[in-house]
């Protein structure tokens, strides 16, 4: 058989397998997110923080942020319950490839080139909770900036699990005009250190 035909068949097979794997991951994550309003709360908060950071006066900024307190508490509680529920997912279904692109069967062939999404979601839960409590005693504008980064980095991780790191980063840039490196630089130092240690990124 023509080598080009073999290459084409292999590429088609890999594409089909990759698509099938991605659909299973999307379904699994959606199933666990369904009982919660995490996505709606995330949208409410990110839009609210952007509005607050754009306010020129401290008083008006404080008013906007005060209106977000209830949503912050709801998101924090719901995300912690989601993480606890997702922790029961079998380990083999929670592995995420460290490579930028998604390749079918890679996790089975090279399990060492992956990390556990369950652990990464716990990193995000702790980071969001720290930002909500304002453990670092940040001024309101800086706290809103950090909280936004914590939320968007968590969203990036979910997209990374469902698709690939490259796709997640491209989506973040397209939807929020924010490179992945900027998100990492904007979260708390504790979140950043735990995230880098787990994902193996540098």
Alpha-carbon distance of 33 to 85, in angstroms, equals 10
pLDDT the model gives residue 10: 47
Q: How confident is the model at residue 15 (pLDDT cuts 50, 70, 90)?
A: very low
**186 is in which domain, residue-wise?**
3-199
- Of residues 19 and 77, which shows the higher confidence score? 77
Q: Can you give the pTM of this predicted structure? A: 0.88
pLDDT at 198 over 90: yes
Alpha-carbon distance of 149 to 132, in angstroms, equals 12
Q: How many structural domains compose the chain? A: 1
What is the mean predicted confidence (pLDDT) over 165-188?
A: 95
Segment among 47-61, 137-151, 166-180 with least mean pLDDT: 47-61
Report strand pairing: 114-116 vs 95-97: antiparallel
Extended beta strands in 42-186, E state? 95-97, 114-116
DSSP string covering 58-122: HHHHHHHHHTTHHHHHHHHHHHHHHHHHHTTS-GGGSEEESSSS--TTHHHH-GGGEEEHHHHHH
């Amino acid at each position: 058989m023509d080598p080009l035909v073999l290459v084409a068949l292999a590429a088609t097979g890999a594409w089909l397998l990759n698509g099938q794997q991605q659909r299973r991951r999307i379904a699994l994550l959606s199933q666990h997110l369904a009982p919660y309003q995490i996505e709606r709360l995330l949208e409410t908060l990110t839009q609210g923080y952007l509005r607050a950071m754009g306010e020129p006066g401290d008083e008006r900024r404080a008013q906007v942020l005060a209106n977000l307190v209830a949503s912050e508490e709801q998101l924090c509680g719901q995300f912690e319950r989601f993480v606890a529920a997702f922790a029961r997912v079998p380990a083999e279904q929670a592995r995420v490839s460290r490579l930028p692109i998604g390749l079918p069967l890679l996790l089975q062939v090279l399990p060492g080139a992956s990390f556990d999404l369950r652990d990464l979601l716990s990193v995000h839960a702790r980071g969001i909770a720290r930002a909500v409590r304002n453990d670092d005693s940040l001024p309101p504008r800086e706290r809103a900036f950090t909280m936004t980064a914590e939320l968007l980095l968590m969203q990036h991780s979910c997209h990374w699990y469902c698709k690939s790191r490259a796709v997640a980063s491209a989506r973040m840039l397209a939807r929020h005009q924010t490179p992945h490196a900027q998100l990492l630089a904007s979260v708390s130092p504790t979140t950043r250190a735990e995230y880098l240690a787990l994902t193996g990124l540098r």
